Amino acid sequence: MHKPLTRQNRFDAAREDAGMLELGVCYYPEQWPREKWDEDARRMVELGLAWVRIGEFAWSHIEPQPGTFQWEWMDEAIEVLGCAGLKVILGTPTAAPPKWLVDRYPDILPVDARGVVRKFGARRHYCFSSRRYRVEAARITEAMVRRYGDNPFVHAWQTDNEYGDHDTIHSYSDEAKLAFREWLAARYGTIEGMNHAWGTQFWSMHYNSFDEVDLPNNLVEEPTPTHLVDYYRFSSDQVKSFNKAQVDIIRRHSPGRPVTHNFMNQNTDFDHYEVGEDIDIASWDVYPMGGLINGRLSAEEKARYLRVGDPDQTAFNHDIYRAVGRGRVWVMEQQPGPVNWAAHNQSPADGMVRLWTWLAYAHGVDMVSYFRWRQAPFAQEQFHAGLLLPNSEVDQGYLEVAQVAEEMARLPQGERRGKAEVAIVLDYESRFATRALPQGQGYAASAIALDWYSAIARLGVDVDVIGQHSDLSGYKLVVAPDLVIPDADFIARLKASGAKALFGPRSGSKTRDMHIPADLPPGPLADLIDFRVTRVESLPEYHSEAVLYGNISHAVTGWRELIRTNETVLATFEGEHRQGGAAIIGNDHTRYVGTLPRGEFLGRLMGDTLRWAGVESLSDLGDLRLARRGNLRFAFNYGNAPASVPASATAEFLVGGRDLAPVDVAIWTETR
């Protein structure tokens, strides 16, 4: 048992309940000499931090030899941090199994798509399907939760760390193969059911039993897409059950303390709603500099936003994880300066750490924790900034956090993010579908969805992210950029909700078995809008087609559909090939886009769609972005020139003012 604790934590849940922003930091006591801990804890509190996350990579420090535990250092670290006034978030250490465990049970290691074992020496070296690893993960989780479950300084738990980081959801191990067969047997009941769904009459792929089925890697040509999508569904379910096992242990021995997991920027390797269902708060890790480098923008746009990041990617993710957390969302890791892991690692502009913190709060985040407290002078992340330099001097991020802490005090309590009028559908299964069958090189559903989100955000409109399970009441407009596999139930609820709907290409193009719907695409969507897609084509970047929309011709590339319809045609393809074909169609409540509008075209389309749905919007904000949390209004300037904030003459500014410098934030209220 942990030693008796003397002082209670002086923080309580009141601050969070009050809708106030709380700040925190990721800390690794095991990486620093004991003499530094007290001073570190004191300085964290002095900076205005309330939370500290520890432990998520500490397994070999807790259990250096099989069955030999050394808890004393962690007891002490929690005591030091807690007594200083910090609330501890304790991470289960399963993202980094120790060497002795790997040596003992090599079958816990994951196997990549080439069939090569991924070895020890970094982290996330485990396969979700390893039965042995599940036993071991439960064992270490239980040992940790039994020890700290009622520790007064431990206020929340984080399971594991970043499921999906370093492409670790998909493992091709023997253990995964066996588990996949069981999963298929449970899904289909009979092998003939599976044969039918997979279309195995094609290319002589017929199976006589589930025991014959292998994983879909290292084949001569591509597998049937149903094989792939089932493998993605299976892998997603493995993450859910792996996570749930830890959550159950935590709930048993540490009741009443919220459980979170730290998700990643637009990761769609597993169904996040499913994992979100089992936790109390969704958190995610915010690294906009790497996000820009790896992201959707052109090289020219990346150069323009190099030190501020994609103006919409981070906001979109806040909205995604607010949906995953059913309203409760935290930032577990906020980049405090340059990082080490992207293709290039630029320094953010001074002021961005503050801007990102306020952006998070504006989008409904209640706690922002920075990664990390002090830059490490050793090991893999030496180039990764912290709030402090390796010698403990303050770095730029620290100064900006201090500014946020000071500004926080000026804001009223009790402001909560409300429901938006516009919702964008993110459906993970549909993402599995386009991943399995992209049909064109570079087809990236995530980038398309972000383009759509961005086109709405540029018009000053708040957006909620929803899944097909979500409550649709109150929305005036639902946009679905890539709903490949719609449920009939969702379509019926959408119809009944009275919301207007805008669907992107490929919507309704596959059944759950990954077949073409019996009466052609758009399958169940035809209940909302009457058309058929009789042909699709993917187009290379070096070719564009012209689309005439409201008398203006726009170039599109990437994707074009051939649509047969009696509905109103709102835009047509011009040019030699199939001149006059429908590009956008619509009726009173539903519109469908059979191509991929971008840039100005997409902006016009969204502006018109918002007007059609009766949603108030502004003209293109350029590099300014707005958001609303309760009565608080926020503006963020991502541009390199001053911008004017669209506040009324009687607005009361709490932070900043009407003229907003680059990288600056304004917060105001309108007179009610």
The strand order across the sheet containing 568-574 reads 463-466, 422-425, 477-480, 500-503, 590-593, 582-586, 568-574, 545-549, 552-556
Residue closer to ligand GAL, measured from CB, 110 or 460: 110
Per-position x/- string for 291-310, each x denoting binding to ligand GAL as judged by CB under 6 A, each - no binding: --------------------
Q: Give 249's contacts (C-beta < 8 A, 6+ positions apart).
A: 138, 141, 142, 145
Q: What's the CA gap between 172 and 235, in Å, rounded? A: 10
How many angstroms from the chain centroid is the CA of residue 457?
Answer: 18
Residue closer to ligand GAL, measured from CB, 62 or 605: 62
Give how far Cα 113 sits from Cα of 166, 248, 268, 609, Å: 13, 31, 18, 43
Q: Name the phi and psi angles at 479, rounded to 5.
A: -110, 140
Q: Give 495's contacts (C-beta < 8 A, 6+ positions apart).
A: 527, 528, 589
Residue 353 interacting with ligand GAL (CB under 6 A):
no
Residue closer to ligand GAL, measured from CB, 100 or 383: 383
Residue closer to ligand GAL, measured from CB, 329 or 457: 329
Stretch that binds ligand GAL, among 160-168, 233-241, 413-421, 512-520 (CB under 6 A): 160-168
Residue closer to ligand GAL, measured from CB, 216 or 276: 276
To ligand GAL, the closest distance from the beta carbon of 299 in angstroms equals 23
Burial class of residue 202 in the structure, from the number of CB atoms within 10 Å of its CB (0-12 exposed, 13-18 middle, 19+ buried) = exposed
Could you say which residues in the range 243-262 bind ligand GAL, by CB under 6 A?
A: none
Residue closer to ligand GAL, measured from CB, 325 or 522: 325
Q: Is 333 an annotated catalytic residue? A: yes
Burial class of residue 550 in the structure, from the number of CB atoms within 10 Å of its CB (0-12 exposed, 13-18 middle, 19+ buried) = exposed
Burial class of residue 215 in the structure, from the number of CB atoms within 10 Å of its CB (0-12 exposed, 13-18 middle, 19+ buried) = buried
What SS3 class is residue 154? strand
**Among 333, 366, 451, 482, contact with ligand GAL (rule: CB under 6 A):** 333
Q: By the 8 A CB rule, do 547 and 583 touch?
A: yes
To ligand GAL, the closest distance from the beta carbon of 379 in angstroms equals 10
**Among 165, 278, 561, 664, contact with ligand GAL (rule: CB under 6 A):** 165
Residue 371 interacting with ligand GAL (CB under 6 A):
yes
Q: Give 599's contacts (C-beta < 8 A, 6+ positions apart).
A: none
**Largest pairwise CA distance in the chain:** 81
Residue closer to ligand GAL, measured from CB, 188 or 341: 341
Q: By the 8 A CB rule, do 54 and 28 touch?
A: yes
Per-position x/- string for 441-470, each x denoting binding to ligand GAL as judged by CB under 6 A, each - no binding: ------------------------------
Catalytic-labelled residue, pool 22, 63, 136, 162: 162
Residue 384 interacting with ligand GAL (CB under 6 A):
yes
Per-position x/- string for 263-292, each x denoting binding to ligand GAL as judged by CB under 6 A, each - no binding: ----------------------x-x-----
Residue 339 interacting with ligand GAL (CB under 6 A):
yes
Residues in contact with ligand GAL, counted by CB under 6 A, come to a total of 11
Residue 161 interacting with ligand GAL (CB under 6 A):
yes
Stretch that binds ligand GAL, among 196-204, 333-341, 454-462, 613-621 (CB under 6 A): 333-341
Residue matched to tokens 């087809």: 443
To ligand GAL, the closest distance from the beta carbon of 181 in angstroms equals 32
Q: By the 8 A CB rule, do 585 and 502 touch?
A: no
Tell me which residue of 389, 395, 381 sits closest to 122, measured CA to CA: 381
Q: By the 8 A CB rule, do 160 and 125 touch?
A: no
Stretch that binds ligand GAL, among 147-155, 161-169, 416-424, 459-467 (CB under 6 A): 161-169
Q: Is 541 an annotated catalytic residue? A: no
To ligand GAL, the closest distance from the beta carbon of 123 in angstroms equals 8
Cα three-residue angle 193-197-201, rounded to 5 degrees: 95
To ligand GAL, the closest distance from the beta carbon of 269 in angstroms equals 14
Residue 162 interacting with ligand GAL (CB under 6 A):
yes
Residue closer to ligand GAL, measured from CB, 165 or 427: 165
To ligand GAL, the closest distance from the beta carbon of 234 in angstroms equals 25
Q: What is the DSSP letter of 150?
A: T
Residue 349 interacting with ligand GAL (CB under 6 A):
no
Residue 198 interacting with ligand GAL (CB under 6 A):
no
Q: Name the phi and psi angles at 583, rounded to 5.
A: -110, -35
Residue closer to ligand GAL, measured from CB, 341 or 653: 341
Catalytic-labelled residue, pool 22, 333, 415, 429: 333
Q: What's the CA gap between 627 and 506, in Å, rounded? A: 30
Using CB under 6 A as the criterion, which residues of the chain lie in contact with ligand GAL when the complex forms? 161-162, 165, 285, 287, 333, 339, 341, 371, 381, 384
Catalytic sites, residue numbers: 162, 333
